[in-house]
Structure 1
Amino acid sequence: MAKVYTDRGRKWEMLNSWWIIFTFLPIGMTSYIAFFYAGTKVKNKRWRIYGLVYLAIFLLAFIPTYTEFEAMIFLALWIVPIIHAFKIRPAYLVQLDVLKANEKLYLDQEVSKLRREAEAKFGKTQKPPQPKSEARANQQEASAAPMTPPIQPLFSNDQGIRKININLASEKEIAAIPEVGIILAKKAVVKREELGGFQSFEQFAQIMGLKEHTLEKMKQRLIFSETDHTDTHIHSGRVIDY
């Protein structure tokens, strides 16, 4: 009996594994379609590259061969994409489950990306006007508590790039950053709560353990507020790692 990898049940997983059928057609001539589909469905670039590799092998199979040995090699390679497809199936189902569960968030992420591109293109950020009554209320609150320390900003704009305060942002706001997504956002929030906040980008990079090209893109999007270290003794001696 097939193993279940998500909470959606075996029936849902079987229905969403139909693309594996492409790998069973004669001499694997449509195996590349299976990997193109899986990679496109869950936005996995590596699987689409696998599709290109299998497409190249399929095209080579139609080049006239002069030896029976070469023909046998191509027939033997037919089994490779079948095994490969079943190997990536668990990861595909889990990623599809997460994608379906956060479909609206990913849509908001795309809209935010388009908005940032538009703001960078036209050189300014459009902000809705603040109602007079709200402005007056804010002024009264400020005068009533003059000794309150300034609040660290959640967002800032530097040269047209919208930056987010990693120590104040919610999980959803962190996930909206390009190259992050919901899974890394959850990890960042957990680590932030364990440490009491990130002190610098270097500390963030070391703890998150992300790839260098991902960190380079995130560095332009993050700011770090001062954190309260009065309870750092609670965390002393703990090793935070994945």
Structure 2
Amino acid sequence: MTVDKIYTDRGKSWEMKNSWWVLLTFVPFGIISFIAFLYTGSKVKNQRWRLYGFVYLAVLIIAFATAVTGIGAAVALTLWIITIIHAFKIRPAYLVQLDVLKNNEQQIANQEITKLREEAEVKFKVDRQTKNQPPQPKVNNEEGSVSKPQNQVVPPKVEESVPFEKEVRKIDINTAAESEIAAIPAIGIILAKKVVKKRQDLGGFQSFEQFSEIMELKGHTIEKVKQSVTFSMVEETNVSMSGRMIDF
């Protein structure tokens, strides 16, 4: 139940700032302890913690209802101690879940901004091409009826250049940072952490087929990821040691 240990990459100050709800359980007889569990459950969408909040609220009501019999004080005191211990127990899980949730929210926001920017670029690119086209010259009927001189050299027809499609920037899985991998559509921060760990264990991925098999990608996810990733050459870690023994 120590608060000295750091559970996320955001630092101790961030974790202490987001652990303020633990103080609610220190109010005498736990009269507002249930609020701490309702808050944490709602913040990280954890239904079990929210259910604990309602249970503690019900026990608190029973304790006050039976206060005249003398049992209520004992129930309230027991509830107070239990909620304090429980709050410190769920604190590490809450901080980790909150960290992942905020990372996902940031990734989703970045993906939405990128999508809007690409749509705007496509729109204005089409408009610029339409507006920048030179006006077609008008040919008078009289000029059109005049025959061309025989010695006049007709310039060759210049083929219109077809604009290249916008090249999609591919991420090198074997060298990219965790944040770059997480920005790939259909991957996200959680899968990116697993990719980095597997990459460290294996020394890199040999191909997309190996990558998709190890990471257990599904059919629709494979198609989305395959268009956005590439794999640099890595040295094979399993080198065959078999060979002919040389007699000395």
Give the TM-score normalised by the residue count of structure 1. Answer: 0.51
Mark the runs of 5 or more structure 2 residues left unpaired by the alignment: 133-160, 241-248
Could you say which residue in structure 1 is the equivalent of 2:79? 77
Could you say which residue in structure 2 is the equivalent of 1:29? 31
Counterpart Cα distance in 2 of 1:18 and 1:227: 44
Could you say which residue in structure 1 is the equivalent of 2:146? none
Closer/same/farther in 2, CA of residues 39 and 179 from structure 1, 3 Å limit: farther
| Aligned residue identity for 2:86 | H
| Aligned residue identity for 1:45 | K
Could you say which residue in structure 2 is the equivalent of 1:160? none
Closer/same/farther in 2, CA of residues 222 and 32 from structure 1, 3 Å limit: farther
Cα offset for 1:174?
A: 5.3
Could you say which residue in structure 1 is the equivalent of 2:122? 128
| Aligned residue identity for 1:32 | F
2:17 corresponds, among 15, 18, 26, to: 15
Name the SS of the counterpart of 1:234 in structure 2.
coil
Summarize the alignment of residues 69-148 of structure 1 with structure 2, pairs less than 5 Å apart.
Answer: 72-73=74-75, 75-94=77-96, 96=98, 104-109=106-111, 111=112, 128=122, 136=162, 138=164
Kindly indicate whether residue 57 of structure 2 is the aligned counterpart of residue 58 of structure 1.
yes
Counterpart Cα distance in 2 of 1:16 and 1:101: 15
Counterpart Cα distance in 1 of 2:213 and 2:79: 46
Closer/same/farther in 2, CA of residues 227 and 102 from structure 1, 3 Å limit: closer
| Aligned residue identity for 2:90 | I
Counterpart Cα distance in 2 of 1:221 and 1:77: 47
Is the Cα–Cα contact under 8 Å of residues 24 and 35 in structure 2 kept in the other structure? Answer: yes
| CA deviation map 1:15-63 (0-9, x unaligned) | 332111111224323223213333444xx333x4213223223224324
Could you say which residue in structure 1 is the equivalent of 2:215? 204
Aligned length: 192
Counterpart Cα distance in 2 of 1:78 and 1:178: 46
Counterpart Cα distance in 1 of 2:185 and 2:231: 28
Could you say which residue in structure 2 is the equivalent of 1:194? 204
Q: CA RMSD in A?
A: 5.2
| CA deviation map 1:157-188 (0-9, x unaligned) | xxxxxxxxx99x98557535899542431322
Q: Percent identity?
A: 41
Name the SS of the counterpart of 2:83 in structure 1.
helix
Closer/same/farther in 2, CA of residues 28 and 177 from structure 1, 3 Å limit: farther
Name the SS of the counterpart of 2:4 in structure 1.
coil
Could you say which residue in structure 2 is the equivalent of 1:142? none
Larger CA Rg, structure 1 vs 2: 2
Is the Cα–Cα contact under 8 Å of residues 37 and 52 in structure 2 kept in the other structure? Answer: no
